[in-house]
């Protein structure tokens, strides 16, 4: 049987693993072996990319791809055997784990072994160097029921009466508000009448004062017009 030995290295951390895996196993088997060696959960969207010596990404081999990738016909890890993608004794794959919070890896084939069939289980970890950073997995909290909704006797959700909308009959039975629209209009009309009367009284008072001033002319004022008492050489009022 043929065994591939891969060195898996973080792109941004000095951490690596060496893993032996059978050539007829799949990329999903390699994916799970990598996550197991790092104490990571493997149930995350991830991809291998066939790469050159400069780690330029080529064809993609995906796990849990999105709808867009599926429509483009992306190769799936569970259906892709390793030996169908090995073209170089030092084949390289660029690997991205967990697209929600990704870690990038360089995966390089460093040795090809030919062994007799045996009972060993593959893949298996051959070498481990460095402590892996923590994996981030997004948690989604379940929706909680509103506290205001309670259970009835038979376990049926019961909504409090104050939250039930009133129908037309209930609205007709509602007592009229002390400050309804009609009462407000009546108050405004009374205020308008009172104001009208007040203005009229004030104007009448001013007119009366003016008349009193006009009628208050004394005899001296009449004298200026020659209508005074009889004097020498003049005429009295009785003469007219």
The reply to whether 163 falls in a domain is no
Determine the structural domain holding residue 62 and report its residue range. Answer: 2-129
| Contact in structure between 26 and 82 (CB atoms under 8 Å) | yes
Q: According to the model, what pLDDT value does residue 137 have?
A: 75
Say yes or no to pLDDT of 168 above 80: no
For the segment 161-184, the average pLDDT, to the nearest whole number, is: 53
Residues 42 and 123 in one domain: yes
Name residue, tokens 């309804």: 180
Residues 54 and 115 in one domain: yes
Residues 31-67 pLDDT 10s: 999 999 999 999 999 999 999 999 999 999 999 999 9
The reply to whether 31 falls in a domain is yes
Residues 109 and 204 in one domain: no
Q: According to the model, what pLDDT value does residue 190 have?
A: 67
Distance, in Å, from the CA atom of 143 to the CA atom of 233, rounded to the nearest integer, reads 120
Q: What is the pLDDT of the chain when averaged over all its residues?
A: 78
| Contact in structure between 49 and 59 (CB atoms under 8 Å) | yes
Q: Is this prediction's pTM over 0.85?
A: no
The reply to whether 160 falls in a domain is no
Residues 18 and 113 in one domain: yes
CATH number of the domain residue 56 falls in? 3.10.290.30
Residues 196 and 113 in one domain: no
Q: What share of the chain is helix, strand, coil (3-state, %, to 5)?
A: 30, 25, 45
Of 44 and 224, more confident: 44
Residues 48 and 111 in one domain: yes
Say yes or no to pLDDT of 200 above 70: no
Residues 107 and 187 in one domain: no
Residues 124 and 6 in one domain: yes
Q: Which residues contact 106 (CB under 8 A, 6 or more apart)?
A: 8, 9, 11, 55, 92, 94, 95
Lowest average pLDDT, out of 99-103, 158-162, 222-226, goes to 222-226
Distance, in Å, from the CA atom of 19 to the CA atom of 111, rounded to the nearest integer, reads 10
Say yes or no to pLDDT of 146 above 80: no
Residues 224 and 108 in one domain: no
Residues 29 and 111 in one domain: yes
Tell me which of 112, 129, 146 is where a domain ends. Answer: 129
Number of structural domains (the chain) is: 2
The reply to whether 175 falls in a domain is no
Residues 60 and 124 in one domain: yes
Strand, coil or helix: 30: helix
């Amino acid at each position: 049987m043929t065994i591939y030995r891969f060195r898996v290295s973080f792109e941004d951390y000095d951490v690596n693993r060496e893993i032996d895996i059978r050539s007829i196993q799949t990329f999903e088997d390699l994916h799970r072996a990598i996550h197991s060696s790092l104490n990571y959960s493997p149930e995350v969207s991830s991809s291998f990319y066939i790469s050159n010596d400069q780690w330029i990404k080529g064809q993609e081999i995906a796990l849990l791809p999105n709808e867009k990738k599926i429509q483009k016909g992306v190769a799936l890890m569970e259906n892709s055997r390793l030996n169908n993608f090995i073209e170089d004794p030092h084949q390289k794959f660029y690997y991205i784990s967990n697209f929600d919070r990704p870690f990038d890896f360089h995966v390089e084939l460093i040795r090809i072994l030919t062994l007799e069939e045996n009972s060993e289980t593959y893949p298996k970890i051959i070498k481990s160097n460095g402590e892996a950073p923590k994996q981030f997995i997004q948690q989604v909290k379940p929706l909680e029921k509103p506290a205001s909704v309670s259970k009835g006797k038979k376990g049926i959700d019961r909504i409090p009466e104050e939250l039930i909308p009133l129908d037309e009959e209930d609205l007709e039975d509602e007592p009229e508000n002390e400050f309804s629209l009609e009462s407000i209009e009546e108050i405004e009309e009374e205020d308008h009448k009172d104001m009208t009367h007040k203005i009229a009284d004030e104007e009448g008072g001013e007119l009366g004062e003016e008349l009193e001033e006009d009628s208050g002319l004394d005899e001296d004022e009449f004298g200026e017009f020659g209508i005074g008492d009889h004097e020498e050489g003049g005429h009295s009022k009785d003469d007219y």
